[in-house]
Amino acid sequence: MPPPPLLLGIVTGLAAEARLARPLGLVQAGGGTPEGAAAAAEALIARGAAALLSFGLAGGLDPALPPGALVIPRTLKTTEGDYAIDTALASRFGTPAGALFAAAQPVATVEEKAALFAATGTLAVDLESGAVARTAQAHNLPFAVLRAVCDPAGRALPPAALAALDAGGAIAPFRVAASLLRHPGQIRPLALLAGDAAVARAALRGAVRQSAAWESDGSSSPGR
């Protein structure tokens, strides 16, 4: 009989992502920053997490990836080096492939995305995974990433989207409204982003269901 799965700690940026991930284990939103993600990862370990997963939305870099494409990387690339993914943990959600880039700052424009793709060949980019990987390495814990493309490579993030989150990963309506007053031309891009985010969340929801099926099959634990 296989050993029971390790207690999984899931770090998200958004509170909405955290709600999707709750069936997987312990969850904490970091507010969409590397610093918040690191604090969330440490808090999850203090609560007993024995493996870490970076979960949520990502910006597309590969032009071939549409909104909702799942990214389950084999490698995480950062400015200071690469981090290996725990294959057994990642395989709970699909077949690991390719690489994700962990950025320190938002990669928002089409030009920035194209330049990063040309330089790294990575599929997508997020802000939390690097901090989660560093924390997992420091504690010698298995680590994986499950992300869904929200804004594809050919679409920029409007300024309101970058200003929207508070420290707990919730949408701050007054920040969005203030940004819209300054830049009213964002209304259509924000509507497109909302549609893409819904598609990405549906893909993540399906991956969570797949993981539940994986566990019911009695597959082996991550890191074992």
Domain ranges across the chain: 8-216
| Per-residue confidence band for 173, with pLDDT thresholds at 50, 70 and 90 | low
Whole-model pTM? 0.87
Give the up-direction half-sphere exposure of residue 138: CA atoms within 13 A in the CB hemisphere: 10
Tens of pLDDT, residues 12-51? 998 889 999 999 999 999 988 999 999 999 999 999 999 9
Tell me the sheet residues that pair with 16: none
CA distances from 83 to 48, 115, 210, 219 (A): 23, 22, 25, 24
Tens of pLDDT, residues 184-216? 666 777 788 889 999 999 999 999 998 876 665
| Per-residue confidence band for 175, with pLDDT thresholds at 50, 70 and 90 | low
DSSP state of 78: E
In whole angstroms, give the CA distance from residue 53 to residue 41. 9
Match domain 8-216 to its CATH number in 3.30.300.180, 3.90.1580.10, 3.40.640.10, 3.40.50.1580: 3.40.50.1580
Report helix, strand or coil for 55. strand
Contact 71, 122 (CB under 8 A): no
Identify the pLDDT of residue 168: 58
Give the up-direction half-sphere exposure of residue 37: CA atoms within 13 A in the CB hemisphere: 27
Given a cut of 60, whether residue 127 has pLDDT beyond it is yes
Cite the DSSP H helix spans in the chain: 15-21, 34-46, 87-90, 110-120, 129-138, 159-163, 173-182, 187-216
